[in-house]
A and B are shown apart, each in its own frame.
Chain A
Amino acid sequence: MFKGGWFKLYALVYLTFLYAPIILLPLFAFNDATVIAFPLSGFTTHWFTEMLADPTLKQAVKNSLIIAVSSAVIATTLGIFASRASTRYEFPAKGGIMGLIMLPLVLPEIIVAVSLLVVLLGLGVNLSILTVILGHVLICTPFTIAILSSAFQSLDKSLEEAAYDLGETPASTFRLIILPLVMPGIISSLLISFTISLDEFIIAFFLAGTEPTLPVYIFSQFRFPSAVPVIMALGTILVCLSILLLTIAEIFRRRGIAKSGGKDTGGFL
């Protein structure tokens, strides 16, 4: 169709715009020059070896991994409670409670960061990896609920009732029937929260104290032009890693929806 053809062309141009920065990344990561500009001067893997030799970077990666894993587990657990409650039960003030929990989705992150900082310092809490986790759980939870709700939503209530009729308790029903059915959703939500936390900058910037996360480290390196090619190498690895994690998450998300008999309505958000 001619009309569809124009739309398709536009969509492809738009995708090119979306991917433009990501396509440039490996070009500069393998470019043999300290200045990030065209024309390219030659191929090198020097930036990758230099990256591996940096002890500050290693520490930042370690901090980020601890934070991302903890945030993903805690946020997904909180997400399971909230999405199960909101899809299965009617209760007073449901809209208000869910609104508050989902608020970080639209609230500027700087507001979350500043308000948490003020409270934590007011209470005399020292800034550390732990305080970053507190903030990251807050911003990851709405995303886990978005994913998990669609998993719980497509669950057939009669399966649960059948289990009760056969003498299972609510706890064993949850473990034996519901959990296996929503498991793909849980895995998908863990991976998404991990990716969000690993990439999050502003909350970590405010709450990390003296223990930089990976994005905080990257941001600090932007001030030194000579450090930028190493960051491009690091970025290339990060982009590959997040594409891999997202692809796995997407596979699990689709499998979960198929498993519980629902209809696929779209992406993660």
Chain B
Amino acid sequence: MDSGNGTGRFFRTESGAGLALISPTAIYALLMLAAPLGAILLYSVFKDGYLEIIREFTLANYIEAWTNELYRQVMIRSLFVSLSVTVVTVLLAFPVAYFVSFHVAPSRKSLWLFLITIPFWTSYLIRVFLWKVILGYNGVVNSGLLWTGIIDEPLQWINYNVGAVVTTLAHAYAPFAILPIFVALEKIDRSLLEAGQDLGESKFRTFLRVTLPLAMPGVVASVLIVFIPTIGDYVTPQLIGGPEGRMVANLIQLQILKLDNYPLGSAIAVSAMAIVTAISLLFLLMTRRYLKGPK
């Protein structure tokens, strides 16, 4: 690609060479990602006929997706779960990122990051299933508490509910939250912190007024990188959530694979993405003042 076969002067210019070189990947993304995303947008305004899709414009799918009580409940629950997971994950992750960035010797930082990322890469399905084992009726938590005599009978409220889904997802997305915060903390010029303390600020006040604002780009990145994918998680609500814990991905799967209603499934998917995008943009707007400034 970048060998310049002499067919065009354009490919020898900086932008020509760059575009030529990126074109295989870009074309793949256009065909396999942009076009399919366009397609579900299109399907979402088609009519669902029996065994076929009628190519006529309609907003009925969206009206159904937004007014049907069941769908609305699932959507609200999904948002609630993703927001809780995001808050829990980012709050728990921040001190870990802070510890690795500020208290670990530089030579050992990679080792810590490696240890943090390993569980993330190991069989997602089996990890989720094991949370069921941990939180289940006869699970690790219950048998542990029974054995120590803290409780007399197994706790019911820790399994098959929204709380169990939040715990499992917070576990699954932990590295995603730690790494962006870590990168932001690493970029902070340590002399700024010394300056803060030299000027008479306490350690805690220095943290609040110097470290935290400078770490905000990382916090914002981890919020988004946790919030956006969690809303579409299928496995955790399916295995852990029980009937009361189903989320939007389960609904999409039901419409598309079980009921063969592609237009409604697409409309639900598009609606979910629209809501997530709107919330993300709002969040970016709210945190805008932290994201500006010198790089």
Contact = CB atoms under 8 A, between A and B. Distances in A.
Interface of A: 1, 3-4, 7-8, 10-11, 14-15, 17-22, 24-25, 28, 35-39, 77-79, 81-82, 84-86, 88-92, 94, 97, 100-101, 103-112, 114-119, 122, 134-135, 137-138, 141, 169-171, 174, 192, 195-196, 199, 201-202, 205-206, 215, 218-219, 222, 228, 231-232, 235, 238-239, 242-243, 246, 250, 254, 264-269
B122 A110 contact: no
A118 to B, nearest CB: 5
A110 B270 CA distance: 11
B136 A218 contact: no
25 contacts: A7-B98, A14-B95, A15-B115, A17-B171, A21-B133, A21-B134, A21-B171, A78-B24, A81-B23, A82-B26, A90-B18, A105-B225, A109-B234, A110-B232, A111-B37, A114-B256, A115-B33, A116-B36, A170-B4, A174-B2, A199-B125, A206-B256, A232-B126, A266-B109, A266-B183
Interface in B243-282: 249, 252-253, 256-257, 262, 265-266, 269, 272-273
A37 to B, nearest CB: 4
Contacts of A266: 109-110, 113, 179, 182-183, 186
Contacts of B34: 100
A108 B228 contact: yes
A170 B2 CA distance: 7
B22 A97 contact: yes
B10 to A, nearest CB: 11
B50 interface: no
A85 B121 contact: no
Given A84-B21, A218-B125, A109 B133 contact: no
B157 interface: no
Contacts of A264: 109-110
B123 interface: yes
Contacts of B2: 84, 170-171, 174
Interface in B93-140: 95-96, 98-100, 102-103, 109-110, 112-119, 121-127, 129-131, 133-134, 136, 138-140
A268 B99 CA distance: 19
A108 B99 contact: no
B176 interface: yes
B40 interface: yes
If over half of B's interface residues share one DSSP class (helix, strand or loop), that class is named, otherwise mixed; here it is helix
A38 B252 CA distance: 36
Contact of B19 (A92, A106, A111, A138): A92
A114 B252 contact: yes
A24 B25 contact: no
Contact of B130 (A25, A122, A195): A25
A10 B95 contact: yes
A94 B18 contact: yes
Given A17-B171, A84-B2, A243-B122, 8 more contacts: A22-B127, A108-B273, A110-B269, A119-B39, A202-B234, A232-B126, A235-B123, A250-B114
B252 A171 contact: no
Given A91-B15, A118-B40, A18 B273 contact: no
A201 B118 CA distance: 18
A265 B186 contact: yes
A108 B125 contact: no
The 6 A-B pairs at the shortest CB distance, nearest first, are namely A108-B232, A89-B18, A91-B18, A115-B36, A21-B130, A85-B22
A10 B178 CA distance: 14
